[in-house]
Chain A
């Protein structure tokens, strides 16, 4: 039986690494990658918790409780894929205009 603590610790470490990456990296591509890392930290937590609940016993037909975590993870992956698609398109558009992919130089939102 996998300890939930270990799963959560892994997820927290992944999330923190992702957050650090998001906050510290100036490159838009690295930013996007760090975002992916954070999303996947959440996925790890979801899958881990689903597994933990499935091992708790209870009603045999409680299918949704045992598997909802996995479904959510699949959902997040699909959304993340779409998000990366949009994000990369934005990065390409920014690069075309500014010939750089540095996040701090794109300040048009201010105006």
Chain B
């Protein structure tokens, strides 16, 4: 027994199973718990998982030893050669994700004890949150696309449950349904992608498959020189990307994420900023050895990512709800990650995922702290507690929150020396470098780079607009709320402080080559991407990553870095100076009613995309449903089949009943007639 639990192949299972156990405990016996015991179970489960993951990371994965857990073959179909490898596989990438999920997850669980302490549904909340951690860990640790999909659906379910956590309000449960349905569209594409991959490669497991030894890794590596149907792989990747668009909120399926802010704020931090929405990024990075063969699909990813980054960034410029600003910024940052993936720089995408997890979780939790302090007076669910135009000057009241929010915003805006700078700069540099490598004037690289820089401008602007409106200037809301606002309890500020340190420090794990040749993050992840890169180098593809840097590329990196830092600092300062002055709101409102009113309203109403979808998709489906309801349900089934058959029997009986007169002679007539007919039959027909 002792040895069993020292075995990493067994120990790895504890990482997802502890949160599952916590979820079951809180879900089944939650009614008997108070907030302390319920929170202790939930936090203990996730912290325990984090400690186990950390020990495995230090003892194995950081040494370059991957772990394949024990497991079994699930859903074996001998005839089709199909089996699902139900095992966990911890390599550098999945271990990193595991650490992010359990690490940031632990902090958010601890924060939640303070944030949800007054909510009567805390046991339900913690049960869902632990279940989410379990599903997300299955997603990243599973050794097969099917177990990934299992987790994929699981996190979708938890997202739905937690968005609609306060389901007594109609709009919250509607937001949950919207998230679920939009994700279902993406999942359909994801499943098609899985079918195509199984069709082509005969397996869905990465490493272990009873019918295809070595799984996808081996079979793709063996066939990488021309034995693959590239057309089919492109289509498979496009289908998988549709799934990623749903889960990671990319155009055209991003519409659910801003609405998902209806859930409790820690949920927004964990699920809708740090972890679940990055599942699409993880999936593409995980399958990078397949994606390197799908250049057309990758270009689609790059363009969609860049467009999403810019599109969502512009919407974020004018939102009034503090959480909506952060939601659009998340969509925008996810766009950056897809941009990097599409340009073939998978490690940088994962790096941005990593830094984003910290500073965005930090920003959301900071916003939660602000909302929490205002809700005290304004009442739970009061929209005023999230309205930036009704805040201001909270720096004095919430000094810690203010500090960490500034740190988070610096990270988000890409101010030099903060984590977001390193990762976002690396993405923009990738695009710039690719632009110069592709040559021939305006090309994909330069276009994506320009869109990325424009998106970065938006990012810097809305980040410091938020800071200025929220913490500086004069209070613009109800006086009572300001008077009673006070800093959140220790259980909330402590996670904020830890996240703030991470949001500063995370970036130093991968320094720009122009500064220092120090990139432990990239070295650590290199084995995950080695096979794909080998193929690209073999084909002299422009998408191949180069470890060595020429003087030219260093120069280009400097140029890119100077442009993006000047933009980030300049725009941040500009936004901050406008909105930290008491006149900031008045100026924006003057702008909105003045000459710039039309574009302002366009942004404020999110380009009317929701309305467009309403007209294009929702209304037609509703009309179709109404027609189907009347034609099929009301007329065909109810009227014709159900009532019709009943009426036919009733009418028939009414006619047949007339025969029963009760008069004996009538029966005798019938009897005689029957006998006569029988006689006639015997005599003449025979």
Contacts and interface: CB of A to CB of B under 8 A. Distances in A.
Chain A complexes with chain B: yes
Contacts of B641: none
Interface string A41-56: 0000000000000000
B663 interface: yes
B663 to A, nearest CB: 5
B102 to A, nearest CB: 80
Contact of A103 (B660, B664, B672): B664
B6 interface: no
Interface of A: 19, 22-23, 26, 31, 103-104, 106-111
Given A22-B668, A104-B663, A109-B664, 4 more contacts: A22-B665, A22-B672, A104-B664, A106-B662
Given A19-B672, A23-B672, A103 B665 contact: yes
A6 B669 CA distance: 28
23 contacts: A19-B672, A22-B665, A22-B668, A22-B672, A23-B665, A23-B669, A23-B672, A26-B665, A31-B664, A103-B663, A103-B664, A103-B665, A104-B663, A104-B664, A104-B665, A107-B662, A108-B662, A109-B660, A109-B662, A109-B664, A110-B660, A110-B661, A110-B662
A107 B665 contact: no
A103 B672 CA distance: 17
B180 to A, nearest CB: 61
Contacts of B669: 23
Contacts of A108: 662
Contacts of B663: 103-104, 107
- Interface residues of chain A: helix, strand, loop or mixed (majority): helix
Contacts of B665: 22-23, 26, 103-104
Interface string B652-682: 0000000011111100110010000000000
Contacts of B668: 22-23
A8 B172 CA distance: 95
Contacts of A31: 664
Interface residues of B, number: 9
- Interface residues of chain B: helix, strand, loop or mixed (majority): helix
Contacts of A106: 662, 664
A107 B672 contact: no
Nearest to B675: A19
Contacts of B661: 107, 110
Interface in B605-659: none
Nearest to A108: B662
Contacts of B660: 109-110
A110 B662 CA distance: 4
Nearest to B660: A110
A62 B166 CA distance: 102
Nearest to B669: A23
B12 to A, nearest CB: 81
A109 B663 CA distance: 8
A17 to B, nearest CB: 14
Contacts of B672: 19, 22-23
Nearest to B664: A103
B29 to A, nearest CB: 64
Contacts of A107: 661-663
A111 B672 CA distance: 23
A93 B662 CA distance: 17
A111 B663 CA distance: 11
Contacts of A26: 665
A23 B665 CA distance: 6
Nearest to A19: B672
Closest 5 CB pairs of A and B: A110-B662, A107-B662, A109-B662, A103-B664, A104-B663
Contacts of A23: 665, 668-669, 672
Contacts of B664: 31, 103-104, 106, 109
Nearest to A107: B662
A26 B672 CA distance: 16
